[in-house]
Amino acid sequence: MRQLRQVKLPAIVFAAGFAASAWGYFAGARHSEAEQIAQLQETAENYAFLLRNRLELYEGADRALGAFFSASSSIDAEEFDNYIGASRVFERLEGASSFGYLPKVPAADAGRFEAEAARTFPGYRISDQRAGADAWYPLYYAVHGTDPTRAGRLRGADFSSVPERWAAMQEAARRDEPVATAVHPALRHAAHRPVVLIFSPVRSMRTPSAADGQARGGLKGFVFSAMYVDRLFLGFDHGRLASLFDVEVFDGSLAREHLLFDSDGVSHALKADAAQLLAHRAEIPVANRTWLLHFYAKKASLASKAAWAGTTVLAIGLLLTLVASYGVAAWPRYVSRQRAMREFNERFAGFFEHHPFAVYAIDLEQHFIHANQQMARELGVGREALIGAPFEAFVAEEDRGALANHFKDVLAGKTVAYTTRLMRADGRCPDVSIVLVPMSAGSEVTHVLGFAENVTDRKQAEQALHESQQMLQLIIDNIPQSVFWKNLDSVFQGGNRSLLVEMGLDGIDQLVGRKDGDFAAWKDMAEHYRQVDLEVMRSGVGRMRMQATDLRKDGTECWIETSKIPLRDEAGKVVGVLAVTEDITARKYMEQELFRRANYDTLTGLPNRGYFNNQLEEAVKRAQRRGGLALMYFDIDRFKHINDTYGHDVGDQVIRMFAQRVRQVLRESDFIARLGGDEFVLIAEGLHQPGDTAVIGQKMVDAMVPPFSVGGTTLQVSTSIGIAYFEAAMTPETLVKAADQAMYDAKRAGRNCFRQAGTAEQPAEKD
């Protein structure tokens, strides 16, 4: 009868434990799935933020390209290609397929436009014209990011013939800002790949209006950028977004006909049970449209992880069940161990109970013979239940092999320290740091004393810090500027992807731990960079927007803008420097080009009227202090006769040659400008007396004596010059008026001479 009870009781314990483990399997799976969705929600929010930033860069690139064309009356294909190359848009923007320019071509003027375009692109023809239109918008300049031949195959196609594109172009012209199209198949693409284009209007320079002082210039055409929708979402962040989520994107509203992208081809957003899988939804503005993004957790991934969690709980439950069954069966042995425990308690009871760590003792077969209350709390079981139980029953299965090796070392008399995961009764697996100390009687180890510290919170904090650092790295890797940071010795501690690409490095390990002088491209400037770093770190004040020229990897010169700020620790102490650099060559080129177009005459290359007025005001201010200023106003004698007789092309050649001869006889400090037509002005400073102007005037008259040879025609050209010498209380306006009047005095005197304002007699005239 006694033997029957010994068999029946362990069986009952095993059956009850198995039932509890099965229940834990399903509860653990549900809990795991809920935790995964919560984690995915935060990740999806971060991706939505990065996508919004990336699409703003798309729109910004379109605006910049539109400004580039609006600022110029003529841009050739080479300038367009150089601009696209300098802006590095294909490197910075995933999904970007092409950028291009569509001029507005009136239907009546199509023949002339085709003939002009054929000079640059032989065989150019406008094709696919929009029926009944009074103007077409054919592709003229274009650069394709992955297929250079595609731009050539599409060149001349009228983009307004595609309804989605024509609608966006009309809206962009009305709003005068970038507008995106609805998704539609790529033009002349065999696979009908879905694309979205952003159109920006290109207008002529603005002119004043009587109503409000400003008016939009006339529409010259459009610039556009095109993006492959599938490449944008599947390739974003090297495909990590596509691996984590099923992404669905709708254009404007949640309707099947507005579906823009679906990564798995099954639209969950239009199903009734969509909320069970939805991780996050976001609205993202895209060039006057709104994209609705839905991030869905991948069910297969959730199921596999949930099953793993449930299986883990089941395994733990079964293991504990077996341990309990074994414990019931081994009760007699437990009684004998109790006696050993009492003896051990008498010796070490005070030490065990008051130690801040979990403390336990195990025999040579790794069975508990003692444990303090903290150890029982760590394992989630009663202390009495631990005595006689095998220690490995509370160790994760994958860590048991390492535990066996550590125990062998302890039995050899060594003290061992390691980290493992314990399995609590409630299914949780805390991380613990364990120290095992061999206890000896004479020369033999009799039992082992263990100290366990729960380090779960510390490891979670380390993991959270690691994930935070990864997210920060992800963000800075997706901005176009180069970012890096150094320690107090100017040794690189990190950098983003843009910096590695710029430096030609394969990985971050080739950057960290090195200095500027270790890189050939920066070796000559390393000491200067170090001094700037020291200044920022010592002063605690950043140095912003420092601009300097540099050389790219291919040897071409570029402009770099750098900002550096001090890095501080939690106590506010400076521990390094953070720098952001950006290639601003394209912006510099744009600024220089805009300045040239605003201040210089396109025919002669001389300063124009606006630039002259600014220079004259400054010259008058200087003359009020030290004098020595003269203004010469002159034109080409009988220029109207030259234009009427020989045509405007010859007239333009005469103006250019006239300006060149005048420049050849002037001093380096003299300022000459063309006011318009054949009228010119000269500002001469640093003169000692009014008579010095006669020397300059005579040189200018003499410079015109040799005949002008223009296209096989020989012309005799002369000039009439009016000179006004600055006197006290004169303004720029009165100085110009005096010089202008003196020029007309020279005209009345027979031309081909100069006259000084307020002087009756002049030097001898030239015939």
CATH of the domain at 571: 3.30.450.20
- The verdict on residue 188 lying in a domain is yes
Q: Which whole-number Å values give the CA distances from 1 to 8, 9, 328, 600, in the listed order? A: 11, 12, 17, 116
Count up the domains in the chain and report the number.
Answer: 4
| DSSP line for 291-355 | EEEEEEE-HHHHHHHHHHHHHHHHHHHHHHHHHHHHHHHTHHHHHHHHHHHHHHHHHHHHHHHH-
How confident is the model over 397-436, as pLDDT tens digits?
Answer: 888 888 888 888 888 888 888 888 888 888 788 888 888 8
CB atoms within 10 A of CB 2: 5
Pairing type for strands 753-756 and 719-725 reads parallel
- The verdict on residue 91 lying in a domain is yes
Q: SS3 for 81? A: helix
Report the chain's mean pLDDT, rounded to a whole number.
83
Question: Model confidence at 760, in pLDDT bands (50, 70, 90)?
Answer: very low
Residues forming a β-bridge with 725: 630
Q: Does 224 share its domain with 94?
A: yes
Examine the pLDDT at 574 and tell me if it is beyond 80. yes
Structure tokens at 712: 């096989």
CATH of the domain at 209: 3.30.450.350
Dihedral pair phi/psi, residue 316, rounded to 5°: -65, -45
Catalytic site includes residue 128: no
- The verdict on residue 67 lying in a domain is no
Question: Model confidence at 763, in pLDDT bands (50, 70, 90)?
Answer: very low
- The verdict on residue 287 lying in a domain is no
What is the mean pLDDT of the segment spanning 161-179? 95
Of 502-506, 705-709, 722-726, which range is least confident? 502-506
Domain final residue, candidates 172, 201, 234: 234
Q: Does 583 share its domain with 628?
A: no
Q: Does 176 share its domain with 80?
A: yes
Q: Which of 158, 533, 601, 678 is catalytic?
A: 678
Q: Which of 659, 664, 726, 719 is nearest to 693 (CA)?
A: 726
What is the mean pLDDT of the segment spanning 682-707? 93
- The verdict on residue 242 lying in a domain is no
Q: Does 567 share its domain with 604?
A: no
- The verdict on residue 301 lying in a domain is no
Question: Model confidence at 13, in pLDDT bands (50, 70, 90)?
Answer: low
Q: Does 577 share its domain with 623?
A: no
- The verdict on residue 566 lying in a domain is yes
Domain final residue, candidates 425, 459, 493: 459
How confident is the model over 66-102, as pLDDT tens digits?
Answer: 877 877 767 888 888 888 888 787 777 777 889 999 9
Q: Does 453 share its domain with 489?
A: no
Residue 188's pLDDT is 85
Q: Does 88 share its domain with 167?
A: yes
Q: Does 445 share its domain with 494?
A: no
Q: Does 383 share its domain with 493?
A: no
Q: Does 721 share its domain with 633?
A: yes
How confident is the model over 253-302, as pLDDT tens digits?
Answer: 988 888 988 888 787 888 755 445 787 899 999 999 999 998 888 766 66
Q: Does 120 share its domain with 178?
A: yes
- 647: domain range? 600-756
Question: Model confidence at 767, in pLDDT bands (50, 70, 90)?
Answer: very low
Domain final residue, candidates 211, 234, 257: 234
Examine the pLDDT at 54 and tell me if it is beyond 60. yes
Contacts of 583 (CB under 8 A, 6+ apart): 86, 88, 502, 558, 559, 560
How confident is the model over 438-497, as pLDDT tens digits?
Answer: 887 667 888 888 888 887 777 776 677 566 666 667 777 777 788 888 998 989 988 888
Residues forming a β-bridge with 136: 105
CATH of the domain at 750: 3.30.70.270
Dihedral pair phi/psi, residue 761, rounded to 5°: -100, 140
- The verdict on residue 713 lying in a domain is yes
Q: Does 92 share its domain with 230?
A: yes
Most confident by average pLDDT, 298-312, 462-476, 612-626:
612-626
How confident is the model over 113-124, as pLDDT tens digits?
Answer: 999 999 999 999
How confident is the model over 343-353, as pLDDT tens digits?
Answer: 555 555 555 66
Of 30-39, 194-203, 281-290, 621-630, which range is least confident? 30-39
